[in-house]
Amino acid sequence: MTFRASILPLAGLALVAVALQATAQKLQHPPKMEAEEMAMYLPDGGTLEVRLDEDVTGDGVRDVVFVGRNDEVRVLKVMSGYVDEFNTGHDPIGEMRMGDAPLGSASLSVKKGVLIVEDLDGGTTAIQSLYRFRFDRKENRMRLIGDDVSLYSRTNAHDSTSISTNRLTGEQVVTRSVVGEDGYTDQPPQKKKVGTAPIWMEDAPLPEKTLGWGE
């Protein structure tokens, strides 16, 4: 009797494990993050500006990317979705500070495994930016692979500067445009070299830094 009693609980646990594994296999994505859960990752007292529910990490599981803000700060966050035989949920894998004077909501998209973040920030002098990130599986982090930033006047009051940087090859192209009666006229582009050491989402340079604006 003692022997049989010790076997039955083990058999029951095995059946539970099999059932959980089967459920996990059927559940290809974790449940969508609800407002209560997302509030834990928003800035204090912040609101959700925009969100994207798509696979960013390339594992076939739906992830969550969103921009949240309050009166003082605005941030981009990436949450990696996971599903196993016991649990489902989301883990943070990247965060980036964004401009705090947006001229509209940011745009988020995923193309061929690359997360694209587009934003327009400022006032009559505006900064337009486009960042490209790719998930680094070894580091479990989001790596900046390229960024395009432009500084211009929405009222054509001053010249403009556009900088496009490939963070993998280190190639950077700077184009300056002179404002005239007929609008902007591009000057010959200048090519530069920058470092190729990995830049993670947390350390991605603000557009103002790349442009040298406000220094």
213, 127 in Cβ contact below 8 A?
Answer: yes
Distances (CA, A) of 73 to 23, 86, 101: 40, 36, 10
Q: pLDDT in tens for each of the 215 residues of the chain?
A: 444 444 445 555 455 444 445 444 455 788 888 888 888 999 998 999 999 999 999 999 999 999 999 999 999 999 999 988 788 889 999 999 999 999 999 999 999 999 999 999 999 999 999 999 999 999 999 999 999 999 999 898 899 999 999 999 999 999 999 988 877 888 999 999 999 999 999 999 999 999 998 76
92, 81 in Cβ contact below 8 A?
Answer: no
Q: Where are the alpha helices (DSSP H) in 101-215?
A: 207-211
Reported pTM: 0.83
